[in-house]
Amino acid sequence: MSEWTFIALLFIISMTFPAVPIVAGRVIGPRKPNPLKNSVYECGVETVGDTWVQFKVQYYLFALVFLVFDIEVVFMFPWAVAYNQLPLYGVISGVVFVILLAEALIYAWRKGVLEWV
Amino acid sequence: MQITPVTVTFAIMSIFALGGGLGVVVNRNLVHAALFLVLSLFGIAGLFILLEAPFLAAVQILVYVGAISVLITITIMVTRRIMGIRESVNRQWPVAAVVAVLAFATLGFVIVSQFAGETPVSDVPPESVAQLGAQLVSSQAFLLPFELASVLLLAALIGAIVVARD
Amino acid sequence: MADIFTTIYHWLFNLITGLGASEGLATGIIQFLGAFAIANFALLILVFNIWFERKVIARMQDRIGPNRVGPWGIFQTVADLAKLLSKEIIIPDGADLIPFMFAPVLAVGSVILIWAVVPFAKSAIGTDVSIGALYFVAAGSLGIMAILLAGWSSNNKYALLGAFRAVAMLVSYEVPIILTLLIPVLLTGSMRMNSIVDAQRIWYFFGVPLAAIIFWIGSVAEVGRTPFDLLEAESEIVAGYHIEYSGFAFAMFYAAEWAHGFAICALMATLFFGGWRGPGVDQFPTLGAFYFITKTFLIYFFQTWTRATLPRVRIDQVMNFCWKFLVPLSLLLLILTVVVDKVVALSGAIPAYLSTQSFAAMLPRTIVLLTVNLVVGGAALLWIARAGRVERERRAVQMAAIESGAAQQAGK
């Protein structure tokens, strides 16, 4: 348990450290907002249209495939930690798990999900 | 109940988990709601650490905060035009509130009556992750659910790809 | 003097309990001081690193680099940071203030959190949690949320596009990282960082070089360093997700990238190059810190070297390289390593196969793993050479068709 109090303390410190100079910058630095400075950057011309982007399904699909692989590897971590003591049967079970997910990758590849258009 | 550091930490993590959940539901701005979801998941990870299951806490942060929250936030950001868009309030919210309170009361009653007064049987073994790994592939324990989880992930990916490409 | 870290710890502990505090409180205070020291180290080493990198790149490009501010320009970074502190933090119209201000804080915070599990010496580690290897991946993934927040809250189309591109790339390269991270974990049988270093009487780099290379490529892409620094390609999409940041908020993103770059060198040294291991470490544990820092800086020099040499790659090339080459390769490497290693271990041909007691005892396993890695690496190189040749021929045919069409047009 005391292992994790260090992480809790470091979390608080690591969130405070960058916040201090940013706050100091706001306080010390010049603050002269004018409409031209505050306008949003669009290659030096006026903004055209609302701030939204065309829905490109690629962004969503890459995050989705990553999610599936993330969960797979998370399942494999306990298996990897117990690896040295496992019988061959246990190792083959893990390999079957990996192969099933390699199939998922092959499916996504063939369906053109992994193309960045 | 004595006030120990563990109790204080439990209270803080519970506030994060419950408060975050409340923030998700109450917020009009969807991106702020997603941020409150992340706070709630952090609270749950903290509760896992208090229960001496650090592996599950790391999995929670890695999968939930690192992957699922990112996925949800991407979806929010590409399907909403302006921040702070006003959602129309559902007309039937009193009925929904009553149903929710009844469900909570039933679940709470069941849990409290089943588990009240029980104490932990034994300490958490020191190398729980290795034992978990060995159990996951032992045919006496969780081998079949382990392989089925893989098949389930495959099915989920195929389904999501089919839906997303329409 | 042999074990300076334990000496300091005991001295502080006795000092605080001598002042009347309980043991728990003394441990808590020492942990706080340790956390403070680590956070300071992670950020202050930047001052040296940025100067180091600028000088090295300059020399590789046959110029001198910063040499005005201080002897050999060593105070250049301080001057830069002081300048950034004095600039106004402009908040664009319509920006969402809380995520806008929180994003740089989260970006830097996630990098500092990584340093909690890095072992500087046998007794000098922030905290040796039982899930060290998984912890630093989880801490790194917090930075992805920071980028998304920065892109959205700037109320700028280009920032949002840049943030989506960045998240797609970062998220894709986490897969090879966690797949190859499994290999040191399974060779050691534990996720504790100190155990992984302890078990490396022969460095894992000599046993599983391909896994180390894939881990390194994935980590460099995670940080956004050349050749993968298209996330904030100044000449292309004008700084991507941090277009609207100025002053010290921008400095925090800048600091987060460099600090992350140094952190992955430390992780690489720990996981694959034996961390604090070296001759004489058993008698003088303090030497471990010296070996660790040396290894980390040598890897950092290598990273700077690649930055000075290689061009930037395009986003579609980056994504193809990850999903169609690195991920299948890591999966194949994992399967073959695991099966071959277990078959050799169980066949009993080599006694004490799994032992890590001495250099000679680890040698058979290292050689077996090295063979598997070389076979898979060789196959991968042949495959990628063939794929490259096929692509070049396709392009040549395409170019010939275009040129003959143009010649026909000109001839008419």
Domain definitions of chain A by residue range:
2-110
Query: Which residues on neighbouring strands pair with residue A11, listed in sequence order?
Result: none
Q: Which of A1, A40, A62 best tests the B interface by mutation, with the highest count of B CBs <10 A?
A: A1
Q: Do B38 and C98 touch (CB under 8 A)?
A: no
H-helix or E-strand containing C124? strand C124-125
| C296–chain A nearest CA distance, Å | 22
Query: Which residues on neighbouring strands pair with residue C398, listed in sequence order?
Result: none
User: For C216-267, how does the pLDDT look when each residue is reduced to its tens digit (9 = 90+)?
Assistant: 999 999 888 877 776 665 545 566 777 778 778 888 888 898 999 999 999 9
User: Which residues of chain C carry a pLDDT beneath 50?
Assistant: 235
Q: Do A86 and B137 touch (CB under 8 A)?
A: yes
- How far apart CA A30 and CA A26 sit, in angstroms, is 8
**Structure confidence at residue C90 (pLDDT):** 79
Determine the 3-state secondary structure of C351 from DSSP: coil
User: For C66-98, how does the pLDDT look when each residue is reduced to its tens digit (9 = 90+)?
Assistant: 888 888 888 888 888 888 888 877 777 777 788
Percent of chain B with pLDDT over 70: 93
Residue B60 · residue B44 · CB < 8 Å: yes
- How far apart CA C180 and CA C170 sit, in angstroms, is 16
Residues 6+ apart with CB under 8 A from C375: C336
Is any Cβ of chain C less than 8 angstroms from the Cβ of B35?
A: yes
CATH topology of domain A2-110: Methane Monooxygenase Hydroxylase; Chain G, domain 1 (1.20.58)
Q: How many CB atoms lie within 10 A of CB C16?
A: 19
**Structure confidence at residue C280 (pLDDT):** 80
Burial environment of residue B85 by CB neighbours within 10 A (0 to 12, 13 to 18, 19 or more): exposed
The pTM assigned to this predicted structure is 0.91
**Structure confidence at residue C68 (pLDDT):** 81
Nearest CA in chain C to B76: C152
- How far apart CA B133 and CA B128 sit, in angstroms, is 9
User: Which residues of chain B carry a pLDDT beneath 50?
Assistant: 82-83
Give the pLDDT of chain A (117 residues) as one tens digit per residue.
Answer: 678 888 888 999 999 988 888 888 777 777 777 766 666 666 655 555 555 566 677 888 898 999 999 999 999 999 999 988 888 888 999 999 999 989 999 999 998 888 876
* Segments making up each domain of chain C, as ranges: 41-339
Residue C205 · residue C196 · CB < 8 Å: no
User: Which residue among C96, C134, C164 places its CB closest to the CB of B31?
Assistant: C96
CATH number of B1-85: 1.20.120.1200
Q: Which of B153, B162, B163 best tests the A interface by mutation, with the highest count of A CBs <10 A?
A: B153
- How far apart CA C156 and CA B100 sit, in angstroms, is 40
Percent of chain C with pLDDT over 90: 28
Please provide the DSSP assignment of B91-130 as one string. Answer: TTHHHHHHHHHHHHHHHHHHHHHHHTT---SSPPPTTHHH
**Structure confidence at residue A45 (pLDDT):** 59
- How far apart CA C136 and CA C113 sit, in angstroms, is 8
**Structure confidence at residue B85 (pLDDT):** 54
Q: What are residue C64's phi and psi, to 5 degrees? A: -95, -35
**Structure confidence at residue B134 (pLDDT):** 84
Tokens representing C94 are 């319509």
Query: Which residues on neighbouring strands pair with residue C125, listed in sequence order?
Result: C119
Tokens representing C333 are 């490497």
User: Which residue among C101, C316, C335 places its CB closest to the CB of A22?
Assistant: C101
| A82–chain B nearest CA distance, Å | 5
Amino acid at site B134: A
Residue C251 · residue C84 · CB < 8 Å: yes
